[in-house]
Amino acid sequence: MQDWRDFIKEVLITEEDLQERIRALGAEITRDYADKDLMVVCILRGGVMFMTDLIKEIRLPLAIEFLAVSSYGLGARESSGEVRITLDLNAAIKGRHVLIVEDIIDSGRTLASVIEMLQTRNPASLYICTLLDKVERREVDVPVKYCGFQIPNAYVFGYGLDIDEYWRNLPFIGVVDLEKYETPL
């Protein structure tokens, strides 16, 4: 397995900057959802690190759920456009205020499909909190209410985001130098 130090182009967002922004998002969400029945829905697997740090900063009672969707295959650098739900919610969301927590929004197609599906379950509200937003890549409009960072169109990894299912455990967001990266067999 190739070491991340061999293919990192730059650290885009440091651990300190991530945690500072997450604290600010938590305070904003706490204010906006006071006296509401909040359910945080984490999109697996990339959103796990962000969601766990974020909910520590939300000073309200809340419920958490997990949803796994797939539109990428191993080694793929772009979405196939076909969204599959691989793990659905266990709890009902009818009448609840749902906040989807996502690691990164690129084209918006995957989240648009998720939102369309969840809207049929009649939540009181349904919004998105994303750590990273590649606005210049957006093809479909999605209701992003909270955004950690807008980033350029770069292939990023770390802090929950993988490169071929590895390196999610790094405490920062790095940019991959694709000329130096070797895809595992």
- Residue that wins the pLDDT comparison between 68 and 41: 41
Tell me what pLDDT residue 87 has: 76
CA distance linking residue 100 with residue 55, whole number of Å: 12
Report how far residue 127's alpha carbon sits from residue 133's, in angstroms, rounded to the nearest whole number.
14
Lowest mean pLDDT, pick from 11-20, 53-62, 70-79, 133-142: 70-79
Q: Which of 106, 141, 162, 164 is catalytic?
A: 106
Query: How large is the average pLDDT for residues 96-105?
Result: 96
Average pLDDT for 42-66: 95
Whole-model pTM: value is 0.89
pLDDT tens readout for residues 40-49: 999 988 899 9
Domain 15-72+80-151: give its CATH architecture: 3-Layer(aba) Sandwich (3.40)
Active site (annotated) includes residue 133: no
In this predicted model, what pLDDT tens digit does every residue of 14-47 receive, in sequence order?
999 999 999 999 999 999 999 999 999 999 888 9
What is the DSSP secondary structure assignment for residue 77, as one 8-state letter?
A: S
- Of 76 and 140, which is predicted with more confidence? 140
On the question of pLDDT at 72 being above 70, the answer is no
Q: Domain segments of the chain: what residues?
A: 15-72+80-151
CA atoms within 13 Å, Cβ hemisphere of 33: 29
Q: How far apart are CA 124 and CA 94, in angstroms?
A: 7
- Amino acid letter at 175? V
Question: What pLDDT sits at residue 30?
Answer: 98
Amino acid 80: pLDDT: 52
Residue 136, C-beta contacts closer than 8 angstroms, at least 6 positions apart = 152, 153
Identify the band that residue 83 occupies on the pLDDT scale cut at 50, 70 and 90: confident
